[in-house]
Amino acid sequence: MQIEIVSSQKEAGQTGLKIFTEAIQNGAKVFGLATGSTPIPIYETITASKLDFTGLISINLDEYRNLAVEHPESYHYFMNKNFFSKKPFAHSYLPNGLAADIDAELKKYDQIIAQNPIDLQILGIGQNGHIGFNEPGTSFKSTSHLVSLTENTIQANSRFFASIDQVPKQALSMGIASIMSAKKILIAAFGINKAQAVQAFIQGPVTEKVPASILQNHPNVTVLLDTAAASLLKQK
């Protein structure tokens, strides 16, 4: 793992832009994208840049179950607001959380990933070590699947909703094996509330109890942290 520690959100955005730019220069065609507050400074810097994605493909990590795409907390809405409306791709794929046949939708999503191997995958990390919506205990061999969200994740996401009762209890998520198939991974974490998860996934054992720990086995991972998120890392 290559660990980059930045002093500000602005610097994080610039580092993310550099990684995306280098990926395109090296021939990247498919970008795996994430939602949530973590990638916003990166997306803001990218969308203000001269990078052109019109001939490229994006594949998102996840989407809530049974949340309309026009709902302001759906990941379709988030991506359009923070990225696609400013920097469109030739094709942008997100799971369909309203699909009547979820099994068929998950199989279709696996086929999309297989047909469009991801060159650069961006990730955040949950306080419990989840990546995408792959909660602790998720098999490292998992592909796209329907997830029942933990109380920890529901609580963390409740800040985006009027009440915790409105937070969806399920989501469709790219699996851990799918994430690990990406040629390069950029995982970012900011703030003291992510410090314990950061220390566990970088320096703890590789275990399904900490889904992000599998990234220790990936050959090309950049970890982007601010000083608070990096504060519990043990110096070697």
Q: Any idea which residues carry the catalytic annotation?
A: 62, 128, 130, 135
Contacts of 6 (CB under 8 A, 6+ apart): 12, 15, 224, 225, 226
**91-93/57-60 β-pairing:** parallel
At residue 172, what are phi and psi to the nearest 5 degrees?
A: -95, 135
* CB distance 40 to 82 below 8 Å: yes
What residue type is assigned to position 113 of the chain? I
Q: What are the angstrom distances between the C-alpha of 61 and each of 31, 182, 230?
A: 10, 12, 24
**2-6/30-33 β-pairing:** unpaired
